[in-house]
Structure 1
Amino acid sequence: MSSPSISNSSSAEPQSKEAALPPEVQYIQYSHTLEKQYLPSIRALISKDLSEPYSIYVYRFFLYQWGDLCFMALNPTTTPPSLLGVIISKLEPHNSALPSSPTPTTQRGYIAMLAVSAASRNHGIATALVQKTIEEMRDRGADEVVLETEEGNGGAMRLYERLGFLRSKKLSRYYLNGNSAYRLVLFLRGVEDMGRDGQV
């Protein structure tokens, strides 16, 4: 992402009290028709774990343009279904194409925000949300997926590394609170196709 103010709010699935989940969690793609019903809940959920505050315009920037890359985990046993987790992402051409790449740009997916309610963690919801957005990006031709997460966020690091993400770069004092971050990358095409210059 060109702007370092967009960070990954990935507390993922750290330690929390076990909670009873509905027999089946419902996963749906975000749609503009759902804004009035769910945007306040999305903002409230993500804000609890953010390293820095985001205005409503940041959420709308992602949700208006890439709503099909954003997924919600809902509890279908409540009326209306309540929000358990959310992932907000985007997919854009990336200018720093690798020298050996056959195309002038790569399609880079970016996971901007990921949050799961404290009572719903440790049940695989964060993992499922990440997998769903990666598959959607893959279907749309993404070459790679990147994100940033706080250096000390062990739960998020373990989650992403289990899914194949690699540490690309350490970003010192990346967040407004002074904390450092790691940039992580997941290659969706083989390394032999992407080049080996180490720049991500």
Structure 2
Amino acid sequence: MCKRYFKGTETRILRVIRRGKQKLTKKQREEMSSEEGIRYTRFDISNEMEFSTIKKLIDEDLSEPYSIYVYRFFLNQWPRLTYLAWADGVDTPIGCIVCKSDMHNGVRLRGYIGMLAVEKSYRGRGIAKKLITLAINAMIEEKCDEIMLETECSNAAALHLYENMGFIRMKRLFRYYLNQGDAFKLILPITEKSCVRSTFLGLNSFPKNAIL
């Protein structure tokens, strides 16, 4: 079904799913290293320094910073879906990704990438891609049917990155930001539920002649 409606993305989606199904040790899941001296950990909800650094990283990257309540909403409820990037010799994180997962229309579990930031001096080293991959794998482990996000239409680099990882443009959101900028809503289908209208998923049986 996904193959029919999302042509050209099947290989990338299956690659992400296979990565998410790999059996990793607890240490591998919690901390991963790369050749560039960057390691990755899950957010520690008891660590106030990590919380403060996430807020600082995101606020510096946004023209319209979030209130502290937005951070509390994500981090207190879904700490397991937040990852940090650390550079050797640096005491605070240099990158982060913040996500959540909840039911959408009562019929599918939707993952959502809410925030992503990497310090400017560390960009271009694949850190953002690694953070996204870790978050996708975590949401697949949580049995999400799809993963969504919004990004600025003018952010060509972000669009290129997400689309290379299998995300598809769903719709354009006009004047989405306070600065009147437009956004694209992107989706990464994980299961067949992502390709079926919510109306049909709510039925006891799926109409064979339904047009999706």
Q: Tell me what 1:18 maps to.
A: none
- Secondary structure of 1:82's partner? coil
Normalized per residue, which structure has more helix?
A: 2
User: 1:91 and 2:101 equivalent?
Assistant: yes
Report deviation, 1:197: 5.0
Q: How far apart are residue 198 of structure 1 and its match?
A: 10
Q: How many Å apart are 1:33 and its aligned residue?
A: 1.4
The whole-number CA distance in structure 1 between the counterparts of 2:198 and 2:119 is: 36
* Counterpart residue type for residue 75 of structure 1: A
Quick one: distance in 1 between partners of 2:55 and 2:143? 29
1:183 aligns with 2:185: yes
Select the structure with the greater relative contact order (CA < 8 A; seq sep ≥ 6). 1
Letter of the 2:125 partner, please give it: H
| 1:90-109 equivalent positions in 2, closer than 5 A | 90-95=100-105, 105-109=107-111
Q: Which amino acid aligns with 1:29?
A: R
User: Which runs of 5 or more structure 2 residues have no equivalent in the other structure?
Assistant: 1-33, 200-212
Letter in structure 1 aligned against 2:103: P
What's 1:33 paired with?
A: 46
Does residue 70 (structure 1) correspond to residue 82 (structure 2)? The answer is: yes
Equivalent position SS for 2:69: helix
Q: CA contact under 8 A between 1:51 and 1:176: conserved in structure 2? A: no
TM-score (norm 2): 0.73
Structure 1's consecutive aligned runs of 4 or more residues displaced over 3 angstroms after TM superposition are: 193-199
Contact kept in structure 2, 1:166 and 1:186, CA below 8 Å? yes
Q: 1:196 Cα deviation (Å)?
A: 4.8
Larger-gyration structure (1/2): 2
* Residue deviations 1:76-103 (CA, integer Å, cap 9, x gap): 323xx321110000000111xxxxxxxx
Q: State, as a whole percentage, how many aligned pairs show the same letter.
A: 40
- RMSD of equivalent CA atoms: 2.0
Number of equivalent positions? 166
Distance in 1 between the 2:197 and 2:110 partners?
17
Per-residue CA deviation, residues 30-68 of structure 1 (Å, 9 max, x unaligned), is: 12112x212222112111221422111111110000010
Name the residue aligned to 2:132. 130
